[in-house]
Every structure is written in C-alpha cells, then in structure tokens.
C-alpha cells in the first residue's frame, strides 16, 4: 500500500492507481468546466501561491484558473524580479513564504530538483510546475488524460515522443507515466538531443522518424528551444525540419488514426508542419490545453482531501 | 615546547606501510623522533590497538586567506588531528590565490601560529590560476612551496602548460594536474548515465577524465617534469596511467576517499553534500579504483577537503557549490575499505601516509627509527554514527552525515606531542 500524497513533485513516486485516481477525478472536472457556471467552493478559504522562477504564460494561467474555479485565493509571484536576484537562497525564500501560511504552492524552477528541495522546507502542499529538465508532472497527467479520452484506454499503445528529449522535462515525466501504465514508448530524435543511458529506462530509441513512427497510436512532438537550434546540437533549423519536423509524409508511417500532440508553444515549420498542427482530425493540441485545467483542479483537490484526512487522523 | 619526554608505546599493533605488515610490539619516541625501543619516562599501554604513521593529506583547502568563516588554520588543524592526519599539504585556490612568495609567507605564518598539525603549502602554477603566465616557481620553492597546481582550473593553453612544466621540471618541482577536459566537463554536476538522465542533471562523460589525463601524460613525457594527477576516478583512465608508469614516466596519481567509498547513486534526491569534483562515479569505477590503490597503481589517497558554508550548499543541485570536508572523517572512511576487504591496513597507510610523504618530499609516513614521531593510535572496529554538527571543521559539509562509521582515532601525536585524545 502506498502512502497518501502530500505533494505532487513528479510522476516517478506515483503508483499507477494514484495516476488513475487523478485522471478519473479530472474527467469529472472536464465536464464541470464545460458548464457556463464553473465555480465551486471546494478550496474556499485556502491560499494558493504560484511561484514561477522561470517565465511561463500557459502553465501559470492554467494553474491560476484551476485554483480560482475551485474557489481558492490565488496569488502569482514572478520570482525573477524578487529577492532571488538579491542573493537570497531558495530555502530562505521558501521559509519566508511558508510563514505566510499558504495551503498550496505551485512552483516552477530552472534547476532540476529545486522543487523537491523547497517541498522539504514548507508545511503546505507543493505542486511541481516544472523543474529544470527533471519533471513536469501535470503536463504528463494532462497528456495521459488526452490520450485516454481520444483512444479509450491508456495501456498497450505505441507512443512515439519526438524531438529534444535531452532537455525536456515533459519527455521525462511522460516516458515514466506511460511506462508505468504499460505502453510501448519510443523516443525519436537526433543523438545529440538524446539523454545518455536512456535506453536502460525501458524505452526504444530511434534516430529516424519513419522507423520511430511506424504503427504509432500517438505521436507526441516536443518543442525545440531556440537556443539549441544553431550549430550546437543540430546543424540548422531547416535540416532539423527536414529530418525531424512532423509533416504529412512522416505521419503516414503512423497508424491512420494516430493522434498528434504537442505541449506548446509550437514552432510551426521547425518541429511541426502547420497543416498537421491545425488538422482537427489529427491534432489534439487544443484538447491538451483544456485537459490541463481539469487535471490541475483534480490534483489540487486530491492533495487537499489527503491533507484534511490526515488532520482528522491525528485528531482521533 | 620545553624538555621533550620520551614515551614508550607498549602492546601495540604496529602498522608498517614499508614492510606492508602488522606486527605486535612497541615503539619508543624521544625528541620528536622515533628511536630504538628501550626505557622511557612515560609508558602508554596501547591495549592491542593499532599504531600507524600519521596521515599525510595532500590537497587540503584551508580557506585562509579570504574565507576564514569556512575554515581557518586553527579549525583545520583540530579537524585533521581528530581524523588521524598529522600533515596537511594546502591548496593555493584561496582568495587571493597563493601565487607569490608574499602570499605564501602569509599562509606559512598563519599555519605556524594556529595549526595543531604540520602544514606545507602548495602554490599556483600560473598567476591567479588564469592559465596564462607562469607563477614565480623558483621564488615560491625557496619560500617553501612543495608542489605547484592550478587546482580544478585546468590550464587550457597547451603551450603555456608545456612551458610551465619545462620550467618546473628543470627546478625539480612537482606539478599537480586535475585531469579533466574542461570543455567537456563545463557546467556538469554529475557523471553522465541513466541516473543523470532520470534526475535531469547536466552531466559529463567519464571520458573527460581520460582525455585530460592523456593530454597531461603526453606533456609530462615531452617535458620530463614530475607530474601527479590529483584524482583518477574512472576505469578508463587507469589503463592510461598504467601505460605511462610502465613507460617509466615520472608520474603518480591520487584519488579522494569519497570516490573510493561512494558512488553516483548516493546523490539520490539531489543531496548537495554529495556534489564534488570530479563528480561521483559508477560502482564499476569505484571498485576498479579501489583495486588500483591496492595494487599501487594509484599512489595516494587524499581527502580533497573542501569546506563550503551552508549558504553555498543550500541550493538546487546545479547551483550548489562543489566539494566536501574530509579531514576528520579520513581515517573512519578509510576503515570502510579495510572492513570491506578492498585494502589492508598497511596498504591504506601506504597510500595515505608513506606515498604522499615520499612524493612531496616530506619527512614522515613511516615507523622507521629516525622518522618524525607523527603517530595515530586507532581502533578500526569502534562503531559510531557521524553527526556533522559535532565536526571540528567550521564547515559541516560531509557526505557521511548520519551514517554508521566503524573505526575511530583514539590519539594523535605530532612530533611526539599529543594533539588529539578521543577520551579528552
């Protein structure tokens, strides 16, 4: 039996049944969010602080909306501009915030492991909104929910994750989650963008899109960061697009009903062709965004339920 | 120090790193030196405990001048004595760098005034460790520098390095290198592999060490200089070291006690006290390096004592400072190698006392008559749990915090004077 979750720091510590529980609850929030009136008081009176040490528009907006729809008081802190620049350590920042008695901290940080470190020092629930190139658990959960709704199941699927695997926390969380749910995961990309030793993690590695996409049920594209494009990891944008950009020709190697995913924001004409990205029969990219809000509501709701249950246990 | 009394250590197990033996017997010291056994005006019954030459630790960072809040000569001396270390050879990577006879004299003066154990300074090979102009190697030798190193600031300009080695070689000076290709290892926090990939940490291939060593060995061959690689930690580099020694080059190598006792997985959930340079390696590497110490291919074990304050370690792993303190845990950590059968006690003291003394041209490291009375009395089986807050170092960044250790220093003597007593 696994312990109840206090934080959502990554996919790695989750049991498959916990993943399913979050997805099941998220499913109900998808319906809820489609109502014209989408507000509940489940987290009323609780304080949620979003601490983003790295720029984000989409993820921060998604967490903010999720908290507000659950009735929490939400505060956003842009940490680049704050005392972090004055040399305060991350732990000092955490202790300061902790003294303000938040209930939920949502944290994004450019360094791997930074969110774990912070979680050790505070009393509230911490959600990892992306740490360095380590994990981005809510992204993997929203991807899983999108796949489950599109394919009707989340097991025994051929899933190809393509592009810059080495620098991607999305790729890590996804390959761990999809592996736990017993799917066949392939990583496709140039060797310079592939982490070392990754073949030991129970995935198949391909450097050719045609081979990697063969019979895939799901094609997951990753964003190629601008700073990696010129000469360092790949020779040029155009060569990358030619060899690894997803277009109709490459997608034809996948199953005819394969879905196309992307965590956004997209570079059309670099890792993905515009026609594919906007093809409503193949692309589920807009659904991913919708699922994002629902999954984050579910995760925060469950963490707060666990906390209430634990408080009651100690009272008995 | 007044009149030196003579002491007879009776009923001891004597660890002799020259003969590679452990014998039951006694040792007499007088006037700070080991003498032939005989009557003495004080007798210590060792109760069958082990008596060995004091450890000679090369590459210790004392943070004077510049960062005395991290480690002073006083605190380093106390930590050393408690770890069975009787001689420390200090690093020049202070603030400012020890690269002139004037700064070297400051260090020497502070050490004499405050340090409980013997100290010998190293000096920088190039000015400010910038790898551009060589330091005043001759003046620095006259002022007492026992070796020259830029530490982990690898000299990238091969022409500069070859000239510095040539100049040092002509003076008979020992040059210490840090075999790491600086381009490949730039920004790395851990060794590349499955663990690094899962944790999402910037990583360096272990090949960077072999590339760095290959370059340095070629230059040692070219210039004839005496060269010591500070830390060899990978199996790939060992083969190159063996080849260079077989070819008769004036080359030796060391390894840190942390690389001999820990591996890359000890970092676990981003524990920054396990962030060291070079990064911890695979278990295969760790085992191979231990065997290399046993065979004598690797000559020297050192602590690579690197104090860091809480601020610089209380950071995300990538941003945290590198280094671990190791003086006070030197002997207990070495006992892990003894208990696991990797090294015998004489082999440990060959690598931790005899070889460093010989390579750096220092007295000590043996129990021979006439050797300095630098001794450590220890119990290899005494168990304890390490509590970092009780370390004598000003900085408490030890990777052994909370761990079970087996082996304790009971008493330490420098020049016949007791500088540490566990019972005290």
Mutation site, B184, B186, B198, B308, interface A, largest A CB count within 10 A = B198
CB < 8 Å to B195, chain A: 197
Q: How far is B111 from chain A (nearest CA, A)?
A: 33
Region B197-226 average pLDDT: 97
Contact A173, B200 (CB under 8 A): no
Residues comprising chain A, all counted: 316
CA distance B323 to B117: 22
Contact A132, A123 (CB under 8 A): no
Mutation site, B186, B190, B192, B197, interface A, largest A CB count within 10 A = B197
Cβ-defined contact of A90 to B311 (cutoff 8 Å)? no
For residue A232, the model assigns a pLDDT of 85
Contact B27, B70 (CB under 8 A): no
CA distance A281 to A268: 18
Listing DSSP states for B141-158 in one string gives HHTT---EE-TTS----H
Cβ-defined contact of B198 to A109 (cutoff 8 Å)? no
**From the list A90, A112, A198, which residue is nearest B315 (CB)?**
A90
Summarize pLDDT for B394-412 with one digit per residue, the tens: 999 999 999 999 999 999 9
Token pair 């990577």 is found at B93
- Cα B298 from chain centroid? 13
Token pair 């021979």 is found at B368
> Would an 8 Å CB–CB cutoff place B109 in contact with chain A?
no
Contact A145, A29 (CB under 8 A): no
Segments of chain A with pLDDT less than 70: 1-2, 81-87, 228-231, 313-316
> Would an 8 Å CB–CB cutoff place B203 in contact with chain A?
yes
CA distance B119 to B61: 11
Residue B188 has pLDDT above 60, yes or no: yes
Helix pair A137-151, A16-33: axis angle to 10 deg: 70
CA distance A214 to A212: 6
CA distance B322 to B258: 13
Instruction: List C-alpha distances in Å: A186 to B126, B201, B384.
Output: 50, 22, 49
> What residue in A sits closest to B203 (Cα-Cα)?
A196
Burial A220-246 (b: 16+ CB within 10 A, else e): bbbbbeeebbeeebbeebeebbeebbb
Mutation site, B316, B320, B321, interface A, largest A CB count within 10 A = B316
Question: Token pair for residue B422?
Answer: 């566990």
Domain residue ranges in chain B: 54-365+380-405
Read off φ and ψ for residue B422, nearest 5 degrees. Answer: -60, -35
Closest residue by Cα to residue B413 from B128, B2, B8? B8
For residue A1, the model assigns a pLDDT of 44
**From the list B194, B199, B314, which residue is nearest A112 (CB)?**
B199
For residue A83, the model assigns a pLDDT of 53
Task: Kindly report the number of other CB atoms within 10 A of residue A256's CB atom.
Answer: 7
3-state helix, strand, coil in chain B (%, to 5): 35, 25, 40
> What residue in A sits closest to B313 (Cα-Cα)?
A89
Contacting residues for A310 by C-beta, under 8 A, at least 6 apart: A4, A6
Cβ-defined contact of B269 to A131 (cutoff 8 Å)? no
Closest residue by Cα to residue B178 from B254, B220, B229? B229
Instruction: List C-alpha distances in Å: A213 to A150, A176, A279, B61.
Output: 18, 19, 18, 54
Residues comprising chain B, all counted: 424
Instruction: List C-alpha distances in Å: B311 to A38, A91, B315, B316.
Output: 45, 9, 7, 11
Read off φ and ψ for residue A119, nearest 5 degrees. Answer: -65, -30
Residue B39 has pLDDT above 80, yes or no: yes
For residue B2, the model assigns a pLDDT of 42
CB < 8 Å to A91, chain B: 314
Region B34-62 average pLDDT: 96
CATH 3.40.50.880 fits B54-365+380-405, yes or no: no
Burial B266-283 (b: 16+ CB within 10 A, else e): ebeebbbbbbbbbbbbbe
> Would an 8 Å CB–CB cutoff place B192 in contact with chain A?
yes
**Radius of gyration in angstroms for the set of CA atoms belonging to chain A, rounded to a whole number:** 20
Give the number of beta-carbon pairs within 8 Å between A and B.
69
For residue B363, the model assigns a pLDDT of 94
Closest residue by Cα to residue A51 from A134, A110, A6? A110
Task: Kindly report the number of other CB atoms within 10 A of residue A266's CB atom.
Answer: 17
**From the list B200, B311, B315, which residue is nearest A133 (CB)?**
B200
> Would an 8 Å CB–CB cutoff place B188 in contact with chain A?
no
Q: How far is A121 from chain B (nearest CA, A)?
A: 11
Contacting residues for A150 by C-beta, under 8 A, at least 6 apart: A259, A284, A287
CA distance A179 to B233: 34
For residue A89, the model assigns a pLDDT of 77
For residue A315, the model assigns a pLDDT of 56
Contact A189, A244 (CB under 8 A): yes
For residue A294, the model assigns a pLDDT of 98
Residue B255 has pLDDT above 80, yes or no: yes
**From the list B193, B203, B314, which residue is nearest A91 (CB)?**
B314
Residue B153 has pLDDT above 90, yes or no: yes
Cβ-defined contact of A198 to B269 (cutoff 8 Å)? no
Summarize pLDDT for A11-63 with one digit per residue, the tens: 999 999 999 999 999 999 999 999 999 999 999 999 999 999 998 899 999 99
CA distance A63 to A74: 9
Does ipTM exceed 0.95?
no
For residue A4, the model assigns a pLDDT of 81
For residue B85, the model assigns a pLDDT of 98
For residue A82, the model assigns a pLDDT of 57
Q: How far is B389 from chain A (nearest CA, A)?
A: 19
Contact A35, A89 (CB under 8 A): no
Cβ-defined contact of A112 to B205 (cutoff 8 Å)? no
For residue B32, the model assigns a pLDDT of 95
């Amino acid at each position: 039996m696994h312990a109840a979750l206090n934080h959502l720091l990554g996919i790695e510590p989750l049991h498959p049944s916990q993943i399913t529980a979050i997805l099941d609850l998220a499913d109900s929030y998808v319906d809820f969010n489609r109502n014209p009136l989408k507000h509940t008081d489940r987290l009323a009176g609780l304080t949620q602080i979003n601490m983003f040490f790295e720029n984000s528009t989409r993820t921060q907006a998604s967490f903010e909306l999720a908290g507000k729809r659950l009735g929490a008081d939400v505060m956003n802190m842009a940490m680049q501009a704050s005392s972090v620049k004055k040399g305060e350590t991350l732990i000092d920042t955490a202790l300061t915030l902790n003294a303000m008695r938040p209930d939920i901290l949502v944290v994004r940080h450019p360094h791997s492991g930074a969110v774990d470190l912070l979680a050790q020092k505070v009393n509230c629930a911490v959600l990892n909104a992306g740490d360095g190139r380590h994990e981005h658990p809510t992204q993997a959960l929203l991807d899983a929910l999108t796949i489950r709704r599109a394919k009707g199941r989340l097991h025994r699927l051929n899933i190809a994750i393509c592009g810059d695997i080495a620098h991607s926390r999305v790729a890590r969380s996804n390959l761990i989650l999809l592996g736990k749910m017993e799917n066949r995961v392939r990583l496709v990309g140039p060797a310079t963008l592939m982490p070392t030793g990754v073949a030991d993690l129970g995935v198949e590695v391909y450097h050719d899109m045609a081979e990697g996409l063969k019979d895939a049920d799901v094609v997951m594209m990753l964003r190629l960061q601008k700073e990696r494009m010129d000469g360092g990891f790949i020779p040029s944008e155009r060569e990358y697009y030619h060899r690894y950009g997803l277009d109709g020709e490459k997608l034809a190697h996948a199953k005819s009903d394969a879905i196309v995913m992307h965590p956004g924001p997209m570079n059309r004409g670099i890792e993905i062709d515009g026609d594919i990205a906007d093809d409503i029969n193949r692309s589920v990219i807009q659904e991913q965004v919708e699922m994002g809000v629902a999954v984050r509501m579910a995760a925060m709701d469950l963490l707060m339920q666990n906390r209430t249950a634990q408080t009651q246990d100690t009272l008995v | 120090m007044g009149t030196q009394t003579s002491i007879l250590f009776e009923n001891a197990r004597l660890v002799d790193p020259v003969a590679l033996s452990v014998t039951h017997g006694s040792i007499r010291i007088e006037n700070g030196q080991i003498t032939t056994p005989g009557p003495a005006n004080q007798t210590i019954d060792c109760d069958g405990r082990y008596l060995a030459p004091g450890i000679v630790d090369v590459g210790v960072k004392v943070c004077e001048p510049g960062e005395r809040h991290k480690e002073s000569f006083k605190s380093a001396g106390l930590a050393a004595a408690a770890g069975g270390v009787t001689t420390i050879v200090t690093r020049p990577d202070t603030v400012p760098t020890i690269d002139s006879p004037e700064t070297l004299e400051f260090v020497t003066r502070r050490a004499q005034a405050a340090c409980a154990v013997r100290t010998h300074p190293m000096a920088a090979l190039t000015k400010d460790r910038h790898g551009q102009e060589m330091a005043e190697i001759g003046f620095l030798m006259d002022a007492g520098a026992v070796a020259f190193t830029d530490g982990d600031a690898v000299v990238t300009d091969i022409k500069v390095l070859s000239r510095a080695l040539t100049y040092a070689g002509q003076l008979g000076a020992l040059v210490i290198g840090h075999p790491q290709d600086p381009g490949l290892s730039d920004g790395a926090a851990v060794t590349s592999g499955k663990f690094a990939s899962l944790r999402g940490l910037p990583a360096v291939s272990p090949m960077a060490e072999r590339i760095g060593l290959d370059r340095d060995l070629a230059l040692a061959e070219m210039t004839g200089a005496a060269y010591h690689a500070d830390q060899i930690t990978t199996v790939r580099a060992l083969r190159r070291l063996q080849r260079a020694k077989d070819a008769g080059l004036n080359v030796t190598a060391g390894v840190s006690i942390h690389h001999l006792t820990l591996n890359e997985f000890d970092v676990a959930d981003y524990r920054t006290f396990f962030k060291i340079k070079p990064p911890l390696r695979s278990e295969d590497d760790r085992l191979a390096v231990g065997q290399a110490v046993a065979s004598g291919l690797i000559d020297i074990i050192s602590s690579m004592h690197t104090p860091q304050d809480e601020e610089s370690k209380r950071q995300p792993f990538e941003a945290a400072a590198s280094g671990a303190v190791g003086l006070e845990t030197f002997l207990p950590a070495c006992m892990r190698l003894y208990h696991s059968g990797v090294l015998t006690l004489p082999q440990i003291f060959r690598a931790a006392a005899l070889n460093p003394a010989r390579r750096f041209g220092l007295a000590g490291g043996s129990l021979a008559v006439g050797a300095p009375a630098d001794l450590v009395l220890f119990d290899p089986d005494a168990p304890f749990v390490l509590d970092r807050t009780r370390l004598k170092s000003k900085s408490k960044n030890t990777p052994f915090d909370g761990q079970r250790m087996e082996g304790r220093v009971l008493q330490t003597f420098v020049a016949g004077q007791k500088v540490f007593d566990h019972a005290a």
